[in-house]
């Protein structure tokens, strides 16, 4: 039984770092606070193996990575690819993450699909193709389209995920129409569940012609009352799933790290085996 709490990415969480820290040093310091991180850069480009080799070396033995699937695999880039081209991309992606696989530090590969990825046969078939290819790896599935959890299909979707051994990514996000999903507190994998906190900024969630949409989308700070409710839900989920990974993505206003620490306190979690904390003799170190 375990609960691992972390953040999406390690570069933008200013409260964790001294002002003069270099970008190359941040992951090692991050890993002195949290036991897991999401590699979001893998969504934008297939990372070279040397990057993963470096990240594996900079993190402690029991640290783990949730690696986002490349955007061609989820369809975000809207590229029209043949079956052979799609297979080639999966080959390239798998080869790139090999250092993480060899180190035993893969938490899961996160397939987050776009808002237009609705419930229809061709999309179900794509999920099967991906699951068959990565048959031996833990895959987490996150929807951004409400049709998957509409009343008439909710149980069928969950049953499909259980049969295909997809890890359910439970989301806390604004309820802003078809391009958002409700909180569905149901594990689908025998071992693992992923929870991602996106904030509740309902006015910034959808583009709606806003030029600053990407900057404000995750602008939200969870209250203690909201996190306390989640701590109760997480304890209920523990009855059904052995390992829970929680990632905070609400960082437009630099709130993710603070909220993650607050949830750790509410759940009375203190991690062992992290990187040594760099302490400053005069100011007491990193708060």
pLDDT (tens digit per residue) in 45-91:
999 999 999 999 999 999 999 999 999 999 999 888 999 999 999 99
Averaged confidence pLDDT in the chain: 93
For residue 252 the two structure tokens come to 């437009």
For residue 39 the two structure tokens come to 């590699």
59: which residues sit within 8 A by CB, 6+ positions away?
A: 27, 28, 31, 105, 275
Average pLDDT over residues 166-180: 95
Residue 204 pLDDT greater than 90, yes or no: no
As beta bridge partners, residue 280 has none
- Predicted local confidence at residue 209, as pLDDT: 61
CB under 8 Å, gap of 24 or more: what pairs does 134-137 form?
A: 134/90, 134/94, 134/109, 137/101, 137/106, 137/109
Residue 182 pLDDT greater than 70, yes or no: yes
Q: Decide: 199 and 171 in contact? Cβ < 8 Å.
A: no
- Predicted local confidence at residue 279, as pLDDT: 60
- Predicted local confidence at residue 61, as pLDDT: 96
Average pLDDT over residues 3-32: 95
Q: Distance between CA atoms of 9 and 276, rounded to whole angstroms?
A: 20
- Predicted local confidence at residue 52, as pLDDT: 98
- pTM for the full model? 0.94
Fold of 2-266: TIM Barrel (3.20.20)
Q: Any alpha helices (H) in the chain, and if so which ranges?
A: 26-30, 41-44, 49-58, 71-74, 83-96, 98-103, 121-133, 154-163, 202-205, 213-216, 224-237, 256-266
Residue 161 pLDDT greater than 70, yes or no: yes
DSSP annotation of 276 reads P
- Predicted local confidence at residue 213, as pLDDT: 65
- Predicted local confidence at residue 205, as pLDDT: 79
């Amino acid at each position: 039984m375990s609960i691992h709490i972390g953040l999406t990415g390690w570069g933008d969480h200013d409260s964790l770092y001294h002002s003069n820290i270099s970008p190359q040093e941040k992951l090692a310091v991050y890993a002195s606070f949290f036991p897991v991180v999401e590699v979001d850069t893998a969504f934008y480009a297939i990372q070279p193996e040397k990057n993963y080799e470096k990240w594996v070396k900079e993190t402690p033995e029991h640290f783990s990575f949730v690696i986002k699937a490349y955007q061609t695999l989820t369809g975000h880039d809207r590229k029209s690819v043949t079956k052979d081209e799609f297979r080639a991309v999966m080959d390239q992606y798998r080869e790139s993450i090999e250092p993480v696989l060899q180190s035993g530090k893969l938490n899961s590969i996160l397939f987050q699909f776009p808002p237009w990825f609705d419930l229809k046969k061709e999309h179900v078939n794509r999920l099967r193709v991906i699951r068959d290819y990565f048959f031996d790896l833990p895959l987490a599935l996150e929807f951004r389209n409400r049709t998957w959890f509409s009343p008439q299909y909710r149980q069928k979707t969950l049953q499909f995920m259980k049969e295909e051994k997809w890890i359910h990514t439970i989301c806390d996000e604004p309820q802003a129409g078809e391009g958002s999903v409700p909180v569905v507190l149901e594990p689908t994998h025998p071992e693992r569940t992923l929870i991602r906190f996106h904030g509740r900024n309902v006015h910034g969630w959808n583009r709606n012609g806003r030029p600053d949409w990407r900057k404000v989308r995750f602008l939200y700070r969870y209250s203690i009352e909201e996190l306390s409710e989640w701590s109760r839900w997480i304890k209920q989920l523990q009855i059904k799933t052995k390992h829970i990974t929680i990632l905070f993505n609400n960082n437009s206003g630099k709130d993710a790290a603070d909220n993650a620490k607050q949830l750790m306190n509410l759940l009375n979690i203190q991690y062992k085996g992290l990187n040594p904390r760099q302490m400053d003799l005069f100011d007491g170190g990193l708060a």
